């Protein structure tokens, strides 16, 4: 199956700092999503971004499908950004969403 | 509200019992999924149904039996619960006819004692 690797596994920031999370995948995909799992366990859909760049407030994401990676940018981080960020992909020939192991983000006040 | 909803939110039960988790989506999607999130936060697919037909069945003990009475519902029944079944179970859905995102429910935290 497709491999999804996220880095870094853990990240600690001071409030106001910027960060970049990376997702590498091993095969061509037609679906890539970024999720934030908040401290209550909810999976919040941040971006559906199989290719290109999108922005939503302080968050933006870029996927370079030909090079098999995606980046999630968080600017001016806030304590409410804490949680686990997951990248998940669907291989072009498949139908299942395969998750990476996540990046645990902690934003300190 | 349009959403994927699953019940119950929390489920605490003893080993050996049988329990069910229900999932419903009103998004008009044709494909539904069950995912399991273990204590290390890893999310792994268990099952997927498309228009009530099973299309993905990962290596899951046959104590787990999904049931899809219609394309808006995908329930998960678990027989003879074991301690290792404790986890958070997420239901999700999507429209398979287009490249579209998955929408997840809020999860069911199952604790087996």
pLDDT tens sequence across B81-93: 999 999 999 999 9
What radius of gyration do chain A's Cα atoms show?
Answer: 13
Task: Please indicate whether, in this complex, the C-beta atoms of A43 and B90 are within 8 angstroms of each other.
Answer: yes
Confidence tier at B2 by pLDDT (50, 70, 90) = low
The closest alpha carbon to A76, from A3, A10, A17, belongs to A17
**Which residues of chain A neighbour B107 with C-beta distances below 8 Å?**
41-43
Contacts of B98 (CB under 8 A, 6+ apart): none
pLDDT in tens, A28-57: 998 999 999 998 899 999 999 999 999 999
- Which of B104, B107, B111 to probe the A interface (max A CBs under 10 A)? B104
3-state secondary structure of B92: strand
pLDDT of A109 reads 95
Calculate the CA B18 to chain-centre distance: 15
**Is pLDDT larger for residue B51 or for residue B19?**
B19
**Is pLDDT larger for residue A94 or for residue B3?**
B3
pLDDT of B1 reads 63
- In this structure, the dihedral spanned by the alpha carbons of residues B42, B46, B50 and B51, taken in order and rounded to 10 degrees, is -120
Confidence tier at B6 by pLDDT (50, 70, 90) = very high
Confidence tier at B64 by pLDDT (50, 70, 90) = very high
pLDDT in tens, A87-102: 999 998 877 889 999 9
**Which residues of chain B neighbour A30 with C-beta distances below 8 Å?**
99
Distance CA A103, CA A21 (A): 8
Instruction: Give yes or no for residue B55 having a pLDDT over 90.
Output: no
- In this structure, the dihedral spanned by the alpha carbons of residues B71, A27, A33 and A40, taken in order and rounded to 10 degrees, is 90
Instruction: Give yes or no for residue A22 having a pLDDT over 80.
Output: yes
Mean pLDDT value across chain A: 95
CB atoms within 10 A of CB A3: 11
Q: Which of B100, B104, B109 sits opposite A43 (nearest CB)?
A: B104
Task: Please indicate whether, in this complex, the C-beta atoms of B101 and A101 are within 8 angstroms of each other.
Answer: no
């Amino acid at each position: 199956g497709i491999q999804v690797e996220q880095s870094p596994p853990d990240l600690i920031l001071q409030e106001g700092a910027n960060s970049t999370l990376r997702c590498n995948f091993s095969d061509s995909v037609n679906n890539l999503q970024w999720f934030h799992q908040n401290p209550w366990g909810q999976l919040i859909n941040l971006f559906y971004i199989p290719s290109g760049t999108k922005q939503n407030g302080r968050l933006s994401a870029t996927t370079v499908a030909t090079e098999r990676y995606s980046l999630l940018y968080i600017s001016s981080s806030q304590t409410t950004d804490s949680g686990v960020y997951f990248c998940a992909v669907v291989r072009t020939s498949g139908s299942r969403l395969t998750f990476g192991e996540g990046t645990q983000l902690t934003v300190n006040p | 509200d349009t959403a994927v909803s699953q019940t119950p939110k929390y489920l605490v039960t003893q080993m050996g019992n049988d329990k069910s988790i229900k999932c419903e989506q009103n998004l008009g999607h044709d494909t539904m999924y069950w995912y399991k999130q273990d204590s290390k936060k890893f999310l792994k697919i268990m099952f997927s149904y498309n228009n009530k037909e099973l299309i993905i069945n990962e290596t899951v003990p046959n104590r787990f039996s999904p049931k899809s009475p219609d394309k808006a519902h995908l329930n998960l029944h678990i027989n003879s619960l074991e301690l290792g079944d404790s986890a958070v179970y997420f239901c999700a859905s999507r429209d398979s006819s287009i490249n579209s995102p998955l929408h997840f429910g809020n999860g069911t935290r199952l604790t087996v004692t």
